[in-house]
Amino acid sequence: MNPTPAILPVATGRVTGAAFWQALRRYPLLGWTSVAASTAASVAAVAVPILLGRLVDLVVAGDTVRSLLLTSVWILVAALGAAVLTGTANWLVSEWGMRACADLREEVLDHALRMDSARLESAGSGDIASRVTEDVEKVTDSVRLAAGVFTALVTVVITFAGFATLDWRIAAAFLIVFPVHVMSLRRFVPRAKRLYAAEREAAAVRTQSLLNTFTGARTVHAYGMEDRQSRRVEQTSRAAVVARLRAVRGFLWFANMMNYAEAIGLTAVLLTGFLLVRAGDSTVGDVTAAALLFHRLFGPLGMLLISFNDVQSAGAALARLVGITGLDVPAASAVAPATSRRPTGITVTSVSHRYPGGPTVVHDASLEIAAGESVAIVGESGAGKTTLAAILGGVLSAAEGEVWLGDRPIGELPPDELRRAVGVVTQEVHVFAGTLADDLRLAAPHASDEELRAALTLVGAHEWVTALPDGLATRVGDGEHPVSPGQAQQLALARIALLDPPIVVLDEASAEAGSAGARQLEQASTALIRGRTAVVVAHRLTQAHTCDRVAVMSHGRIVELGSPEELVAAGGRYAELWSAWRR
Ligand SMILES: Nc1ncnc2c1ncn2[C@@H]1O[C@H](COP(=O)(O)OP(=O)(O)OP(=O)(O)O)[C@@H](O)[C@H]1O
């Protein structure tokens, strides 16, 4: 039923790394203190096995009790210091990563909200939903891991420096583990990258299919498609499970290889140490210290290698987030909406439109709307009225042709200027959670209560709002005071009145309201378009009849255009519709 959605872009490894680094660099103080604390913690931790080695040599040499005690005290100090510093370092590194992640999350959300609606529609909301939820969660969860990886990296480097204080031959023996690690990593890394990307993509498709099922629940019930739809969800879920299992299997192979490498490494260190001590070239203390250091290295080295798995998976999620922040979206504007408006006309030249993968639904539409003129669009269902209105309102970009608002092409207007120039009410009106006043102030944040009341009066909503328990302070939206579809549309119209744009495009679903409600909405629209350039998708012909001109659409074309009186006199399609309506 649904084609596989076009997935939004995913950033390359280099771009992802650069973006993450950029985010980290915003907190230099945290960054430097994290590095300093991790280094100090590792130095203290590495000192413990080296001092233990010394202690062994002192015992073997039969040294004084005093020097044994002194060394033991140093071991205790180093161990305690390592514990405190490791805790501090972990906290600092987590804080650093968390802040970078929070910035990234805000950026992703900001981009997602300002993304071109046509692009969002063609990608499917499931992809963006899984990015701003599952992927963000994955990356945030990985911060603790990243903190561990960071401290492990520092520990590995410092431990190597610790090896340098011992016999170089024992250190060299230890190097035998590296070819094994390199070989397994070289095999695992490219596979893991593919496997984790596939896993995340399968999860996105599953989210999309679930969303489609829920949002289209009514259609699913109406056509009895429950079985078909649940099979589809089952298929996508199964694909997600298979992708996950493949990733887990790949990792298990890698974990096995790591165990082999460790066994080989420890054997080599002990064997070399044994031979050196027997030949009198090294001390038992040095070998003890080397074996303990090697053992100490197991933890961080293993952590680095094991978390390669999670780092890859978090990297795939991060690349999907950076893919969004890399998209070109219109910049946010700090300019407050202008309150004055000047009359603006609309010029439509040869506009055609098709939705992705579909046929042309608007053909070669041309129309000149004078400043202050109102034009109604009428026509049968599916004629292309909503599509044309959305193009004139700047909600959709026409595939072909041009739309000018006054003396500027619509595509050249920055989003905030566009929203100030054209007020659009679509069939999908939404009441946002909060108070009624908050809902109205979305359009004009600085409007006074008086201005809110004036807007409500204009659209005929003042009476029912005043009758509410808390008036303008009544909480509406999810689970709060219910607002009927007709009232929601009145609120949408009131928001436009507050925005006070020179042009309005109204495509209301007046069919949803009862006939008394529909009349009320019609009056609200008429009041709103007075003194503005207006395009009204008229679902009731009485509404069209109050406009200066009417454009009749059929199969995507404007087939008649003129004043209602002219069209009635011409005896064409509008005349037919009008006489049928009056009967
Ligand atoms: N988002 C979309 N994706 C694909 N096709 C679409 C989309 N929106 C509308 N269409 C198709 O474009 C054509 C014109 O639809 P449009 O909604 O513009 O017509 P309309 O005249 O406003 O119809 P109605 O009065 O029923 O709302 C229809 O065939 C419709 O199925």
Can you tell me the ipTM of this complex? 0.96
Question: Does the C-beta of 556 come closer than 6 Å to ligand 1?
Answer: no
Ligand 1 geometric centre to CA of 559 (Å): 17
* Token pair listed for 138: 């994955």
The atom number, within ligand 1, closest to the CA of 537 reads: 22
Alpha carbon nearest to ligand 1 atom 6, residue: 355
Alpha carbon nearest to ligand 1 atom 29, residue: 382
Question: Does the C-beta of 361 come closer than 6 Å to ligand 1?
Answer: yes
Model confidence pLDDT, tens digit, residues 567-583: 999 988 999 888 887 76
Region 337-349: mean pLDDT is: 72
The answer on pLDDT for 503 being more than 90 is yes
Contacts of 431 (CB under 8 A, 6+ apart): 439, 476, 477, 483, 488, 491
525 alpha-carbon distance from chain centroid:
36
CA atoms of 279 and 171, how far apart (whole Å): 17
Ligand 1 geometric centre to CA of 386 (Å): 7
Percent pLDDT > 90 in the chain is: 26
| Listed residue (430, 429, 439) closest to 475, CA to CA | 439
The answer on pLDDT for 565 being more than 90 is yes
Helix axes 28-60, 136-164, angle to 10 degrees: 40
Alpha carbon nearest to ligand 1 atom 10, residue: 355
Ligand 1 geometric centre to CA of 349 (Å): 21
Phi, psi of 114 (to 5 degrees): -100, 5
The answer on pLDDT for 346 being more than 90 is yes
Question: Does the C-beta of 344 come closer than 6 Å to ligand 1?
Answer: no
pLDDT of the residue at 309: 66
Q: Which residue has the higher pLDDT, 232 or 375?
A: 375
The answer on pLDDT for 5 being more than 60 is no
CA atoms of 560 and 66, how far apart (whole Å): 108
The atom number, within ligand 1, closest to the CA of 383 reads: 21
With cut-offs at 50, 70 and 90, classify the pLDDT of residue 546.
confident
> 13-325 adopts what CATH topology?
ABC transporter transmembrane region fold (1.20.1560)
CA distances from 358 to 215, 361, 392 (A): 21, 8, 20
The residue written with tokens 């600092």 in the block is 92
Question: Does the C-beta of 387 come closer than 6 Å to ligand 1?
Answer: yes
pLDDT of the residue at 446: 85
Question: Does the C-beta of 358 come closer than 6 Å to ligand 1?
Answer: yes
CA atoms of 175 and 311, how far apart (whole Å): 24
First to last CA, the chain: 41
pLDDT of the residue at 6: 46
Model confidence pLDDT, tens digit, residues 510-528: 544 455 667 778 888 888 8
| H or E element at residue 362 | strand 360-369
For a mutational test of ligand 1's pocket, the pick from 354, 380, 386, i.e. the residue with the most ligand atoms closer than 8 A to its C-beta, is 386
CA atoms of 327 and 11, how far apart (whole Å): 10
Region 270-295: mean pLDDT is: 87
pLDDT of the residue at 509: 64
Model confidence pLDDT, tens digit, residues 105-149: 888 888 877 776 666 666 666 777 778 778 888 887 777 777 777
CA atoms of 423 and 495, how far apart (whole Å): 9
Region 479-489: mean pLDDT is: 80
Percent pLDDT > 70 in the chain is: 92
The answer on pLDDT for 243 being more than 90 is yes
Ligand 1 geometric centre to CA of 18 (Å): 43
Model confidence pLDDT, tens digit, residues 295-334: 777 777 777 777 766 777 788 888 888 888 877 766 655 4
Contacts of 176 (CB under 8 A, 6+ apart): 264, 265, 268
> 346-582 adopts what CATH topology?
Rossmann fold (3.40.50)
Q: Which residue has the higher pLDDT, 558 or 127?
A: 558
Say if residues 503 and 534 touch (Cβ distance below 8 Å): yes
Q: Which residue has the higher pLDDT, 9 or 423?
A: 423
Residue 344: CA count within 13 A, CB half-sphere: 25
pLDDT of the residue at 336: 43
With cut-offs at 50, 70 and 90, classify the pLDDT of residue 217.
confident
Q: Convert 399-434 to b/e letters by CB count within 10 Å (16 or more is b).
A: bebebbbbeeebeebeebbbbbbbbbbbeebebeee
- Of 59-68, 183-192, 240-249, 511-520, which one has max mean pLDDT? 240-249
Ligand 1 geometric centre to CA of 355 (Å): 9
The reported pTM is 0.57
Every domain of the chain and the residues it spans: 13-325, 346-582
The answer on pLDDT for 352 being more than 80 is yes
Stretch among 3-17, 202-216, 447-461, 537-551 having the lowest mean pLDDT: 3-17
* Token pair listed for 170: 């024992």
Model confidence pLDDT, tens digit, residues 374-430: 999 999 888 999 999 999 998 888 889 999 998 889 988 887 788 888 988 887 777
CA atoms of 372 and 533, how far apart (whole Å): 4
Model confidence pLDDT, tens digit, residues 152-209: 888 888 887 877 777 778 778 878 888 888 888 888 888 888 888 898 889 888 988 8
Phi, psi of 426 (to 5 degrees): -100, 180
Region 236-244: mean pLDDT is: 93
The answer on pLDDT for 480 being more than 60 is yes
pLDDT of the residue at 178: 81
Alpha carbon nearest to ligand 1 atom 30, residue: 382
Question: Does the C-beta of 142 come closer than 6 Å to ligand 1?
Answer: no
Q: Which residue has the higher pLDDT, 433 or 238?
A: 238
Identity of the amino acid at 464? W
The answer on pLDDT for 214 being more than 50 is yes
Q: Strand 374-379 and strand 549-554: pairing?
A: parallel
Q: What is the mean pLDDT of the chain?
A: 84
